[in-house]
Amino acid sequence: MAIKRVRAHHLAQMKADGTPITMLTSYDAITTRIFDEIGTDMLLVGDSYANVMLGFDSTTSVGIDEMVVATGAVARNAKRAFVVADLPFGSYETSHEDAVANAVKLIKAGASAVKLEGGVRMAETIRAIVNAGINVVAHIGYTPQSENALGGPRVQGRGDAAEQIRQDARAVQDAGAIAVVLELVPAPIATDITRELTIPTIGIGAGEHTDGQVLVWTDMAGMSDWQPSFVKVFGEVGMALKNAAQAYNDAVRSRSFPDSDHRFNQ
Ligand code: KIV
């Protein structure tokens, strides 16, 4: 049966059925309508909003008020997709009270779940948010909000560190997370974790055997100057937009636009 609106139990069912879960980031009304209409299962209002849309160097620069605005734009325009909103850096580490209060803001803006970064170290925070009746998606492996502590984007869980990633995965599931993002985790470890957990795993740079995949939409659409090696560009949207804007500029400069077919009839 076609899903009218994706809910947490549908994601669990998709894992059980072996149906791959699709997730893309989205930060505004226009892209949300497009991704939602084509049936993308999950939309992530990621804190990558900071880099992608606001032009900051780091995800840590975005705050809860900006995330609330972006979440509202996405949630108002997603008819089917399950909307996940990132709790930004500094909005949940300080206390369980802050974490719950900020998660409530994102849910009031229309999110179906909040996402936060961290495994074992964040398990009690996840539990507190879940106890407030809020769905939590966890994010482990490479966690961009800790980029300074982790020494920049790099694969996590190689060698002895694999056990830490496994413990993180178990801890977030035990704390009540409904799904977990695995970022830059070696594929064999992501595969083992996917087999072991009962909640869906969503991979980014974590191989092909996770229950779902997520990409930053501007990366997969060819809108970024640079993308990591695990990203596939599925369309040259950046080039198409450049060409359209160039054609518009040329037409205005040559006075071939507006023309007789494109005039407001007075
Ligand atoms: O903010 C984001 O875009 C993310 C994805 C990289 C998973 O967290």
* Digit-coded pLDDT (tens) for 91-135: 999 999 999 999 999 999 999 999 999 999 999 999 999 999 999
The whole-number average pLDDT for the span 37-45 is 98
| Cα 253 to middle of ligand 1, angstroms | 40
Neighbours of 254 (CB within 10 A): 8
Closest CA to ligand 1's atom 8: 46
Catalytic hit among 124, 147, 183, 196: 183
Q: Using CA atoms, how far apart are residues 266 and 259, in angstroms rounded to an integer?
A: 15
pLDDT over 70 at 156, yes or no: yes
Q: Using CA atoms, how far apart are residues 112 and 134, in angstroms rounded to an integer?
A: 8
| Cα 256 to middle of ligand 1, angstroms | 43
Point out which residues pair with 140 in neighbouring strands: 182
pLDDT over 70 at 69, yes or no: yes
Residue 124 annotated to the active site: no
Work out the percent of the chain whose per-residue pLDDT is above 90.
89
pTM, full prediction = 0.96
Range list for CATH 3.20.20.60 in the chain: 8-235
The whole-number average pLDDT for the span 154-183 is 93
Q: Fold for domain 8-235?
A: TIM Barrel (3.20.20)
What pLDDT is attached to residue 143? Answer: 92
| Cα 57 to middle of ligand 1, angstroms | 14
Angle at 43 between CA 42 and CA 48, to 5 degrees: 135
Q: Confirm or deny that 79 is annotated as ligand binding.
A: no
- 46 C-beta closer than 6 A to ligand 1: yes
